[in-house]
Structure 1
């Protein structure tokens, strides 16, 4: 693995400036690696390579692109153990979750795109018009630290399947797992320039990608504030943008729901990846008839989460990604005026840990209920009826995900009224081929499955 290099035009090459960025283990606070600090000049080299590769890759039949993605999947699957360990080291995800989610999910998504491209849909005809779907062009992919391979694969696999070369900037906090992907791409024989890697900071590399005149589309996942800046930069040249941004999802527990399961699954969802999940159900809305019992259950469940070494099988909650993120989350906890019912548990002195925390009687308009905290902090809010539950759930500038528990027909009726991109009823499993994305300030566009690939395509009508 050439962690001291960039990957541009099918080769490992040095960065123009020769500077590096440290990569920290958030569980131990130790520096575990250094990667190049890419520059705008490096981005220009990568975009040039992607542009040179575009015509041939776009003309490659989709079925052949699917076969190439299949080879990439095979090469990446052989690295599954390394993926889990790497994410455990650079992010602190507990090993069990790292294996199932941080390694397992992106491999599932990649396999799905390989299969989708290998069996392309027939072209559509409308009257005397032939409707074609063509690659949008060179894609700049800017990805976050919380699911550092899944978010990369969700963009890269979809773009490559659609016929678009990619310039990838992974998060500077968790860049190492991206090197495993590029190693696999090199082994699989992806054509030169089809996939390029430029690690670095957002203000340097991310900004250069977003503003580059030869980047036809920017696909960004991260904070709403940064997404706004990316959108502005791309708008100056009318480039296409896909944004997957923040969330403050509501988990509604209706009267008649299976309370114990709803609360325990809800707490687990809110605390997944130490709460560093954009879809996390961080607002638990409970019918008043269950409220007191739900608060007790949530508090007891949270107190049962053991924090510590991600490589200890008993650990359920790892560290936050950085000292800054830890301090930010602690700030929310310290400023809160709601009743704290869990969060006094001891955490390791070394590492960026926050105790699993639950607040009850949270004001729906308060900071706790409105801001994306991105840590293991759950707010519980009572409601009187379905209408009030929907009003509270929709009282957010975000709309990414959510949950509803109760009678299936009633829960479905409530789910239809929620202004959010995805809703799980009674704990239904995540579907990696269903469209994923948000309403309002949670983003623009969709990822995953055929909807995700369509984001990287232009639609043309040819009249005959």
Structure 2
């Protein structure tokens, strides 16, 4: 039996052990349409029961010694290392990842666990001054039960980056992965922590549809909701959580800009731009969705980028050595193609690509755009690189900021100019002389504007704030005297 053998999880969800479900959904390979297995679907009633059990188990887990919790996280990192090849196979087949992306994602998962293993020993508060004769403390305590709703594109790491710190800090977790990646975004995480020694009842895997997601948000025991996904769904979750007086950490969409300054190395800039737009078929919130190139370089850059796009092979990453795998499903494939064709009909020009290729989409470069075209205004979530030019840094800043999103920006070229431009950019992340896709477990991650509610992931400060509550505690040596 392998670590992820379907005999363990087939037709089941996990809530105090693996439970058979009368409702099941297929696990499908997007490149071929083949069925890889089935997972159990959790109903709203299943979520409610899991939330009650999680609240019960959480108190004992929070009382577990910091070193014991740290040991579970360290062992999880070791298990990710030991089973990396099998996990990567699932990321390739179920999520449509090319092999290098799958390896990168698994590596991030390993780093996330080891980084979070330090959280139990992190300072959990501070000593405050007081006008009275007492000790005054602000201490951090686990929030309680955390609901994690994760997407399909980087299913492993985008679920784990909330699950791991929440567990490390003494919370219980309800995990609802995207139904299209329930194994690599759910079963994998659950099996890892199960084998790492996490007590029963602390982590619940609840694959399901929107009804299960709503139940996670609405369960009274859930005090924090961590959602990664589209902006429209994030708005709905944030609204519902607000009415229930719960915290919602929302990491949402992006239409990220790459600015190529005058004098930049065009060959290197085009390589960076291609990586930013075409990694994982452009299905990344940090994907480079807008290329803003100085007018002195725009023709040369566009030609270089188009040549790279034309050379990128599309296919089945489980069976071929390809640069681009499939899009997650037919609906997304047709949506991407519709945005491209609508933009071309409005006057944009194709410099490369623009075609469906089996279950994938050819790497595409668009020029001649106006800022009201869908390929420029919308988050495409596909391998499409729209290019426009600018003449001054002031104009570049205006174009970057003229967008509802604010997640990630890359600036290529002279560092001094790039630094001055960075000071004028509204974005959660700015990368100078790098493209827009970058993440490390110890770095704060998050966006502004329609990209979310700020940096709530990565690094001890963000994680402690995200998954704990602050309690004021005072202590006197004797009972105080009062005038009544």
Match of 2:33 among 6, 26, 29: 29
Q: Name the CA distance, whole Å, in 2 between partners of 1:393 and 1:254.
A: 13
Q: Name the CA distance, whole Å, in 2 between partners of 1:366 and 1:132.
A: 50
Q: Name the CA distance, whole Å, in 1 between partners of 2:271 and 2:416.
A: 22
Determine helix, strand or coil for the equivalent of 1:284.
strand
* 1:346 to 1:233, Cα distance in 2 relative to 1, 3 A: closer
* 1:346 to 1:53, Cα distance in 2 relative to 1, 3 A: closer
Shift of 1:454: 2.0
Match of 1:219 among 191, 209, 226: 226
Q: Does 1:453 align with 2:464?
A: yes
Please give the per-residue CA displacement for 1:81-105, whole angstroms capped at 9, x wherever unaligned.
Answer: 1111001111111112211x22111
CA contact (8 A) 1:102 1:149 kept: yes
Alignment match, 1:431: 440
Alignment of 1:285-434 (within 5 A): 285-312=292-319, 314-336=321-343, 337=346, 338-343=348-353, 347-348=357-358, 352-427=359-434, 430-434=439-443
Shift of 1:426: 0.5
Alignment match, 1:247: 254
Alignment match, 2:13: 6
Unaligned runs of 5+ in 1: none
Q: Name the CA distance, whole Å, in 1 between partners of 2:464 and 2:138.
A: 16
* 1:215 to 1:73, Cα distance in 2 relative to 1, 3 A: same
Alignment match, 1:110: 113
Aligned residues: 455
Q: Does 1:173 align with 2:180?
A: yes
Cα RMSD of the aligned pairs, angstroms, is 1.6
Please give the per-residue CA displacement for 1:135-183, whole angstroms capped at 9, x wherever unaligned.
Answer: 1111110000000100111010011122110000011001112212211
- What TM-score, normalized by structure 1, do the two folds share? 0.95
Q: Name the CA distance, whole Å, in 2 between partners of 1:287 and 1:216.
A: 48
Q: Name the CA distance, whole Å, in 2 between partners of 1:168 and 1:144.
A: 11
Match of 2:66 among 62, 67, 70: 62
Alignment match, 1:41: 45
Unaligned runs of 5+ in 2: 1-7, 131-135, 476-484
Q: Does 1:79 align with 2:83?
A: yes
* 1:416 to 1:90, Cα distance in 2 relative to 1, 3 A: same
Alignment match, 2:126: 124
Match of 2:140 among 109, 125, 133: 133
Shift of 1:236: 2.3
Q: Name the CA distance, whole Å, in 1 between partners of 2:329 and 2:244.
A: 35
**Which has more radius of gyration?**
2
Q: Name the CA distance, whole Å, in 2 between partners of 1:237 and 1:345.
A: 45
* 1:49 to 1:59, Cα distance in 2 relative to 1, 3 A: same
Alignment match, 1:197: 205
CA contact (8 A) 1:3 1:179 kept: no
Alignment match, 2:473: 462
Q: Name the CA distance, whole Å, in 2 between partners of 1:313 and 1:230.
A: 39
Alignment match, 2:479: none
